Amino acid sequence: MNAVEQLTAAVGKERGLLRFITAGSVDDGKSTLIGRLLFDSKGIFADQLDAISRAKHKRTVGDTIDLSLLTDGLEAEREQGITIDVAYRYFATPRRKFIIADTPGHEQYTRNMVTGASTADAVIILIDVSKVKLNDDGSVDLLTQTKRHSTIAHLLQIEHVVVAVNKMDLVNYDQTVYDRIIKAYQEFADQLGLKDIRPIPLSALAGDNVVTASEKLAWYKGPTLIELLESLSVYDACHDEPFRFPVQLVARHNGHEANDFRGYMGRIEAGKVSKGDKLLVQPGGQTATVKDILTLNTSLDTAVVGQSVTILLDEYVDISRGDMLVGIDRPATLLKTVNADLCWLSEDALDVRRKYWLKHTTRQVAARVTAIDTLLDINTQERRPADSLKLNDIATVTLNVAQALAADDYQDLRSTGAFILIDEVTHQTVAAGMIRLG
């Protein structure tokens, strides 16, 4: 096996598609930046351009197009000039395909940012140069929401962080201001443990350094934003990870047919499976052998992560929705007590006396938060005791679940290490959690 084959086996094949989100505080220019990316890379259809040029809520002067309206499609978003919901956009350059998630910056809608970030490969943290406080002693005060979104990006293990200092035109493209802001962010990123930080100065409204380099930023010698995004390395999930297959549905033919059929349908969340493999059913503990692997119109010898398949087993075993088929040599960890990092997303505070529904892969069980171990201070990154959690709080907690979960550490497998909490009365999602086994 040569070096390239060894790398592919270890981390998976490099992927042409990049999923990224924009994040930061309210009115930092996230929607305008995405609009500028789409406009300058010729990713807008003529009818879309015509529609936004005639929009009644545009915030630009004269005939100038308000590019933020390309993603802010809700009437409430256009009236208030803010992003509320997550908006997804697809575009491509000759070198790469992209899926962008425009996420809200307003503190009230942080839960929507968490939704967009959960599947992202990279995040663009926008910093509005006009809102950052430059102190006389040389220090810089970053906005709390900038720190919050950076913390969430770290918890969700987003690999690449692009720090875009926006609205440089408002400070006459001053390099000193840019350098001070990046120095302050780098110090905060070091506290967090963020590794791959890519700083860039730009003006989304004017188009400086977004798709084309700007003479006004001649002191900046790095790539433009689109060149930077095209160069980020992203790899498909590795097939050598332990096999994980949460069962979504048990498929049967009509019960009176002589040739009875029982298949287990779902999506492979990690690893691969082949005919003849010995599998373990968790949390039940039964073992079975793979008889066949079916897709819509064919049979497969091997299926890999990301594929939706129906697995047939040689043995009749008790399996239902919510169970997980795993490789017998590397099973998941069975948990009745769960330690996790929790982002609280509800306007109603956490009540440790109440039960919640915990949804993990396809399994939903009753759960109760038995302890709030520590609450994270977003500004200082210090942890302190707490009795309750309110909207946007991030904490380490301990939960007890009514039935065992087959789970992995979020750091090892995101798909089987994540969960959400659901209010059993309103059925609203109230928290997102990341399981920690260490």
CA dist., res. 68 & res. 66, Å (int): 6
pLDDT tens digits, one per residue of 138-167: 889 998 888 988 998 999 889 899 999 999
d(CA 108, CA 212): 34
Instruction: Provide the pLDDT for residue 61.
Output: 42
Question: Which one-letter DSSP state was computed for residue 350?
Answer: P
What's this model's pTM, rounded to 2 decimal places?
A: 0.81
Q: What is the pLDDT of residue 69?
A: 59
Tokens of 11: 């981390």
Q: pLDDT for 206-235, tens place per residue?
A: 889 999 999 999 999 999 999 999 999 887
Mean pLDDT check: name the lowest of 18-27, 97-106, 145-154, 371-380.
Answer: 97-106
Q: What is the DSSP string of 18-55?
A: EEEEEEESTTSSHHHHHHHHHHHTT-S-HHHHHHHHT-
Q: What are the E-state strand segments in 118-252? A: 122-128, 133-134, 140-141, 160-166, 196-201, 244-252
| C-alpha dihedral sign at 130, 131, 136, 142 | negative
Which range is least confidently modeled, 71-75, 103-107, 342-346, 388-392? 71-75
Tell me the pLDDT of the chain averaged across its residues.
Answer: 84
Q: What are phi and psi of 259, to 5 degrees?
A: -90, 85
